[in-house]
Structure 1
């Protein structure tokens, strides 16, 4: 906790971003976008983002809000443009975002590899875009099908056992002093955004055109390929995890 408290003077703006994400993801779109606008102003004032970065982000969000009213080839081109915009943000290719380094070459335990982590400003914006273009992912509820849910739940321990068997995973019971900032960053700035994009948006839109089975497979493979930087094994593990999440 002491480590987390020591970071508060630098990381407090991200709590506004997390609040904006929480509001938008819970169906309070106006509240979420209002908090996001406030966060954008603060990021500009503190030098966390340049006017160029904020402008590119704003254009993408405005385009996403307009996209759901389009149809035909124009809509297809719009979706492709939005996907490229999302991927550019996720890959930190949009200039002007100054993500904050909070963990630099740390280890969770004596046997773990070193780890570096930034608090992202750019990647979380993808959540707001996909909620604007595909609000159906949080509007209403679909009946839960027992068989796919059970299969998805079974895939999770199977994935862990596969990691153990291949040596990709080695249990190391420890709680590093930076666990809280790691958990918050991964839950809100990474996982929430990735699930919204791959499952809420890509899987939903592919499923609407081709059916559930192909939608789950395609979104899972794309999720795996997005982790290609970690090597072939990570692509396989991420694809299996994506399938488990998609089935659930």
Structure 2
């Protein structure tokens, strides 16, 4: 089921028909395995109707705007696990993957994986907003890539992380979940939708800063050091999106940072012995 759901997200920017067929199949499998319940289905049906109405009414600006606001609100609710009836399975429970690492739990989140579908219905340029006005030098891209390990090493210098190598047995499960159900969902919301919409109103760099701050604030539960770390990471992801115009570029930056964090540093945080 999770492979089918991942495939639906993979096909979403290339072939929406195949993506929605795969999503329907994953939904059926989810109901069969009780990951989705009749309650969650009852919540998803009106959301699906709103997606259809938004497509039908896209030329009626006032109606389309109201429906877009509704779908964004639903996206935020799914993102925050506020819609009831989802039994997201726990794949890793409070495991310490190293002596210095804090306990870690891994969920497969069906509700969060739906976010790109709703936002793509609101904004057809979610995955491809066009290239930057000015070409970006290869050197700038190299520096941006190097900022990923530099940010993790900065967290080490500040005491939030320690260098600690891992290769947990659930690494493949982590990679699929983190790529499709975490990185893609978060980048669709923060870069693909919010940064793109704010850029239309305020310009590129205000959108970059505001979105990075919102991304940092979304990590408030992890403490102020996590907020600062996530804000700086949001700047990296935001630049990757701004320079490329392609959502999959910041998704890969996001996934690359998370995977590097898992493999080479205490994960998710350093825990004092």
User: 1:9-28, aligned counterparts within 5 Å?
Assistant: 13-25=1-13, 27-28=14-15
Give the Cα separation in 2 of the matches to 1:77 and 1:102. 38
* Unmatched 5+ stretches in structure 2: 241-273
Distance in 2 between the 1:124 and 1:23 partners? 13
State the SS of the aligned residue for 2:98: coil
1:227 aligns with 2:219: yes
| Equivalent residue number for residue 54 of structure 1 | 41
Q: CA deviation at 1:54?
A: 2.0
Per-residue CA deviation, residues 177-220 of structure 1 (Å, 9 max, x unaligned), is 12111121111111111111111111111111211111111111
Unpaired stretches in structure 1, ≥5 consecutive residues: 1-12
Structure 2 residue 94 is matched with structure 1 residue 105:
yes
1:87-109 CA-to-partner distances (Å, cap 9, x unmatched) read 21112111111101110111221
Counterpart-to-counterpart distance in 1, 2:80 and 2:49: 21
Classify the secondary structure of the residue corresponding to 1:135.
Answer: coil
Q: Which structure is higher in RCO with an 8 Å CA cutoff and minimum separation 6?
A: 2
Task: Confirm whether residue 145 of structure 1 aligns to residue 136 of structure 2.
Answer: yes
Normalising by structure 2, we get a TM-score of 0.78
Specify the alignment match of 2:250 in structure 1. none
Tell me if the contact between 2:216 and 2:231 (Cα under 8 Å) persists in the aligned partners.
Answer: yes
3-state SS of 2:125 partner: helix
Given that residues 65 and 133 in structure 1 are in contact (C-alpha distance below 8 angstroms), is that contact kept between their aligned partners in structure 2?
Answer: no
Give per-residue Cα distances to partners, 1:144-176, cap 9 Å, x unaligned. Answer: 533875664454344223201111111101211
Report the Cα distance in structure 1 between the residues aligned to 2:59 and 2:39, rounded to whole angstroms: 27
Q: CA RMSD in A?
A: 2.2
- TM (normalized to structure 1)? 0.86
